[in-house]
A = this chain, B = another copy of it.
């Protein structure tokens, strides 16, 4: 009955029934390690105990579940917690807009607001960017798989090369700056630049702190708003709550979704107070105030009251990096390279098709792991942040075993041919 548009279900052909932490269980009772984490939605694991307990309590007390954008006690607690635990300690004074509860909704809101404020329709996005698939977000998403002549308006977006796009020796910001400074370059002054600090769907491309600082500098010079899309790599994925924290930049707007709702649908836009130029009701949506997500989020934001989680991420990040680099060395025929930060890592295998094979066979062995990059050539490690060391190592072990088998089979095939 379901549409052919299904994607993940094809890669991971099982019917899942239960889940806990970093483990999923299908209807036959088979267990799977989850290195996918709902593409960044399950940073705190499946059915986190604190979350489950709070949800049950809330429902049993007949808490308001759906309330559009009306004020509820749950929303009040969420805003207070976000301020106390995340914004205030980092000296951010952002205002919060609840958009429709998906990433693409908050991106659309950010673009709409930026264009309205600056009165300029152009926006700059980067090569290999992924920001969502509604019409406004799609226009700034690079992958041509999603773009079709008939349904996409290509207007009002200019793509610039991301950090490292022309190799390590070219500073791509020089290109961008040249286009901006030259009044005849054909680049219309954009209202905003939107960028991911780590391109997750684009192949785990990591922008350096210097590049981000340079980008912020350009935005200030040319009066352009800087929007950081934190949908996939915010919420602690990079090691800190916001992935841009360590670079020291202060975006004008930040889009948040995925894990910000504690695993439930929620999306929000942070914006500097002077940018909050919306008229009441100008951007609406039915599910903006998902109260169950507020309840869940309050529980998961609690992880940021101290440095324990952050420290644990850095510790496990070290393991992940070390182990993946060891794999690259162990299997030199793959010509694999390792990229990432925190608990998002890419293991790129240039030969097209191999990475896909890795994901497929690893699933048979009990590991759920996704691909990314323009040709699905990057195996994408995205475990829950709360994963324990043992399960992490177990998952990596499955990858090791899988690659070994694939190369062996390949070897045999080659031998047979002679």
Question: What is A's interface to B at a CB cutoff of 8 Å?
Answer: 1-10, 12-20, 24, 27, 38-42, 46-47, 52, 55-56, 59-73, 76, 79, 82-83, 95-98, 100-105, 108, 111-113, 115-116, 118-122, 125-129, 132-137, 139-151, 153-159, 161, 165-166, 174-175, 178-179, 182-189, 191, 202-203, 257-258, 263-265, 269, 271, 276-287, 290, 292, 373-375
Question: With A2-B96, A15-B76, A159-B187 known to touch, is A64 a contact of B24 (CB < 8 Å)?
Answer: yes
B151 and A188 contacting across the interface, CB-CB below 8 Å: no
Report B-chain residues with C-beta under 8 Å of the C-beta of A68.
8, 38-39, 41
Taking A4-B278, A133-B283, A153-B156 as known contacts, 18 extra A-B pairs with beta carbons closer than 8 A to each other, sorted by chain A number, are A2-B97, A3-B98, A5-B279, A5-B283, A17-B63, A19-B62, A41-B66, A46-B66, A108-B135, A115-B151, A116-B150, A116-B151, A119-B150, A120-B149, A127-B182, A144-B183, A145-B281, A146-B283
Partner of A67 from B16, B76, B100, B283 at Cβ < 8 Å: B16
Measured between alpha carbons, how far is A66 from B264 in the docked complex, in Å?
A: 7
A63 and B103 contacting across the interface, CB-CB below 8 Å: no
Partner of A148 from B116, B132, B285, B292 at Cβ < 8 Å: B116
Q: How far is the CB of A270 from chain B (nearest CB, A)?
A: 10
B4 and A279 contacting across the interface, CB-CB below 8 Å: yes
B150 and A121 contacting across the interface, CB-CB below 8 Å: yes
A62 and B102 contacting across the interface, CB-CB below 8 Å: no
Report B-chain residues with C-beta under 8 Å of the C-beta of A2.
79, 95-98
Report B-chain residues with C-beta under 8 Å of the C-beta of A285.
102-104, 132-133
Q: How far is the CB of A198 from chain B (nearest CB, A)?
A: 15
| Chain B, Cβ-Cβ closest to A140 | B186
B3 and A276 contacting across the interface, CB-CB below 8 Å: yes
A375 and B183 contacting across the interface, CB-CB below 8 Å: yes
Report B-chain residues with C-beta under 8 Å of the C-beta of A154.
121-122, 155-156, 188
A46 and B17 contacting across the interface, CB-CB below 8 Å: no
Report B-chain residues with C-beta under 8 Å of the C-beta of A111.
135, 151
B12 and A70 contacting across the interface, CB-CB below 8 Å: yes
Q: List 24 A-B contacts (CB under 8 A).
A: A4-B276, A4-B280, A5-B279, A6-B281, A7-B280, A7-B284, A24-B64, A47-B62, A47-B63, A47-B65, A56-B60, A112-B151, A121-B149, A127-B185, A142-B184, A144-B184, A145-B281, A149-B149, A158-B158, A159-B185, A159-B187, A166-B178, A183-B375, A265-B287
Partner of A3 from B82, B116, B153, B271 at Cβ < 8 Å: B271
Partner of A102 from B105, B127, B283, B375 at Cβ < 8 Å: B105
Leading 3 A-B pairs by shortest Cβ distance:
A7-B281, A135-B136, A159-B186
| Chain B, Cβ-Cβ closest to A130 | B184
Question: With A2-B96, A4-B276, A15-B72 known to touch, is A282 a contact of B145 (CB < 8 Å)?
Answer: yes
Q: How far is the CB of A296 from chain B (nearest CB, A)?
A: 9
B18 and A374 contacting across the interface, CB-CB below 8 Å: no
